[in-house]
Structure formats: structure tokens, C-alpha cells
Amino acid sequence: MRASLLVPGALALALALAGCKGASQKAPPREEMASIEPPASSAAPLEGVLDDAADPSAASSVAPEADGWLAASVPKDSPNMRYARLGRDACLAELGRRAIAFEEAPPAEWAQKSPTPMTRLDTPAKKAKHAVGARKATGAKSAKPAKPTKHGKQGKAAGSTKAVKHARSAHRATAPVSTTDTEPTTETQILAPVRLRGPLHGITIRSSLPEKARAKSPFEIFDCRLVLALDDFASLLAQHDVVEVVHMSAFRSQRDRGCMPNKPGKQHCGALAVDVGRFKKSDGSVLDVEKDWSGRIGAPTCTPGAGPNPVTPSATELRDIVCESARRGLFHVMLTPNFNAEHKNHFHLEVTPDVGWMLLK
């Protein structure tokens, strides 16, 4: 059965997460939303470490609510819940058990080694402009500012209900911060950072960066727990003859707007989220989220009767992929173009530790 929002118990949930606005698929977006607060009624943090992975076929029963969202009881043994509880060693051992080709990513490839003062959170172009202005004011010799990268721009926060707080808070990262604020050291933010060194179920998962750049790009770093969810996801995609998944980014630091300052180690900052834009099939055709989704902001995603408009084979297939992933309980957060404009060109897929809900919008 299809679902548009999943939460534990009979309560509508309150957490979604951050997505990004990346307007182009040619480079990972630099700016993304941050975090939503879970409802007070959210399940207590999970405890325990599992040494084994859950059966990918496990599914939660779902029932539509009056507002079009989907409420569900999320079993503790569903894939997303089991993966979120894994410790570092158990997770890496599971990658090995599944014969997934990977290598661990040392902190030097992604971590800020010390707190970094932040005077504002602007786009790269604005940062360069402010830096030049500051040097001129002090009489210091100006250096040629770096060219802005091709990352997406930060979008507006969307929605005002508690159910989407988790997703909209990431958009608030555009607000200036005090000069006394610092970005937390990120060396401990990713529990088990890894790079994929081979396909998952025959499917290559990569960013849209050139091949040479991908080898050391931080955007290619995943938390081990997200890789397990993606492995299950790839098993599903293989049934749709997908051979390649192109994403905008997985890990993004706080400075790259991967999360809010009070959410270190989660969302993109924890390499626990990935923004997928395209699915290439074995016949050479491509399912492009921006071009083929055929939805609208605020429309239900997977409740009975929901569907693309206009109906096309590509739109129907994308919808089937999303809704089946939700039914199997592969991710805690799945945000589509139906959520807001910032997600018009990608699916935000996230594993969220210490929660007992799922959110699909």
C-alpha cells in the first residue's frame, strides 16, 4: 500500500528533514535545509546494537489519515530502525558480510579540524564579496576572490506545522549568525564514514561530479548505516532495470548547509542523507526527478488514489519506487518534489538515529 507519511503509533509525526535546493544536477548543491524537531509524543530513543541487518522485505502496515498523510506503526525490526541502531563496528561488519566494496574515509577528507568562526551563512559569491570589502576597510591587500561554486542556492523555509519542522529548519540556515559563533568540530560527526568502491546490486551510486573529482570529494562520503539502506534500495531499483543512480551530495558540512548548528552528526552533516536526482536504466533511458515526477507541492505522495498528474510511464515508475521504498521501511525521511520547491529536482533520502517514526512527503 502506498503512504505519504509514516509515524510510530497512531500519531502524526513531526520530523522530516532537510533537503537542498540544488538547481542543477551538474554539481552537488552547497546549501541545504537543516532540521526539524520531533513531536513531544515521538518514540523514545532506541537502545541496543544489532549485529545483523534486517530483512529488506519487511514492511509496515499503513493507513491513510484525513489530512492525506500516512500514519503507521514502525516495527523495531524494519530496515531503517535496525540500521539506525547499529554501532560503527557492527555496521562495518555488515557491509563486509554483504560483500559491499567500500573503504573508510579518514577525517582528513571531510572534517573541520578545529572550530571555525562564522560571521554569516551566505552563498559562496556573497562570502567572497564580504571578504573583499573587509580587506578594503582595513587597508589590507586584496586577494582575488575565489569563484563561486556551482552549488544550489538556499531556499525559503516551507510549512509551519510541527510535522514538517525537521525539514524546514534546514532552510533557516540563511540567517546571519554572531561573529562569536563557531562551527563545531566535525571529526566525530560521522559515525562510520565510508566511500563506495563498487556497485550495489549491480547499480553504481555516484554524484554528478567528474569521475576524477569524485575519488576525493566529500560529497561522495556516506555513513555506513545509510549505505545499508541504499543497498536495500538498490535491490529494489534493480527490479526497475536501473543501473546507475546520480545524486547531488551525501555528506555536506554545516558550513555547506548540511544541517543546523544544533544538529551535528545528523542529516547531511552526519552523511546520513543523500539527494538523488536521476536514475539511469539499462536501455539508456533516464528517470529524471525534476522532469518526470509530475506532482505538485502539497499533493499526497503515496496515499490511496494519489499519483502523478499528468500520468506518464516515467512518472508512474518514480512514484512506484518511492512508495515501495516507504512500504519496505528503507528510510526514515523521504522528501519528494511534492514537499516544497527546494526539492523540485531530487528525492531526499535519510536515515535518522534515535527516532521511532518515518516521514514521506
| Residue 176: per-residue pLDDT | 30
Tell me how far apart the alpha carbons of residues 318 and 312 are, in angstroms, rounded to a whole number: 10
For residue 112, with 0-12 CB atoms within 10 Å meaning exposed, 13-18 middle and 19 or more buried, which class applies?
Answer: middle
| Residue 19: per-residue pLDDT | 40
Tell me how far apart the alpha carbons of residues 80 and 332 are, in angstroms, rounded to a whole number: 6
Average pLDDT estimate for 138-164: 40
| Residue 265: per-residue pLDDT | 80
Which of 31-40, 72-81, 167-176 is least confident?
A: 31-40
Q: Identity (one letter) of the amino acid at 298?
A: G
Q: Average pLDDT, whole number, for the chain?
A: 71
On the CB side of 247, CA atoms within 13 Å amount to 26
Residue 110 pLDDT more than 50? yes
Which of 45-54, 193-202, 344-353 is least confident?
A: 45-54
| Residue 61: per-residue pLDDT | 35
| Residue 171: per-residue pLDDT | 39
Higher pLDDT, 185 or 29: 185
Residues 309, 315, 319, 322, CA torsion sign: negative
On the CB side of 200, CA atoms within 13 Å amount to 22
**pLDDT winner (highest mean) among 102-111, 175-184, 279-288:** 279-288
Residue 117 pLDDT more than 80? no
What tens digit of pLDDT does each residue of 256-296 get? 778 777 767 888 889 999 999 999 999 999 999 999 999 99
Average pLDDT estimate for 49-65: 31
Which of 118-122, 236-240, 242-246, 296-300 is least confident?
A: 118-122
Tell me how far apart the alpha carbons of residues 19 and 84 are, in angstroms, rounded to a whole number: 19
Cα–Cα distances (Å) from 246 to 107, 142, 346, 347, in that order, read 24, 39, 10, 11
Confidence band, pLDDT 50/70/90 cuts, at residue 186: very low
On the CB side of 242, CA atoms within 13 Å amount to 27
Confidence band, pLDDT 50/70/90 cuts, at residue 172: very low
Model pTM score:
0.67
| Residue 85: per-residue pLDDT | 94
List the grid coordinates of 232: 536495500
Count of C-beta atoms within a 10 Å radius of residue 277 = 23
What are φ and ψ of residue 276, in 5° steps?
A: -95, 130
Residue 356 pLDDT more than 90? no
Which of 177-186, 311-320, 335-344 is least confident?
A: 177-186
Residue 177 pLDDT more than 80? no
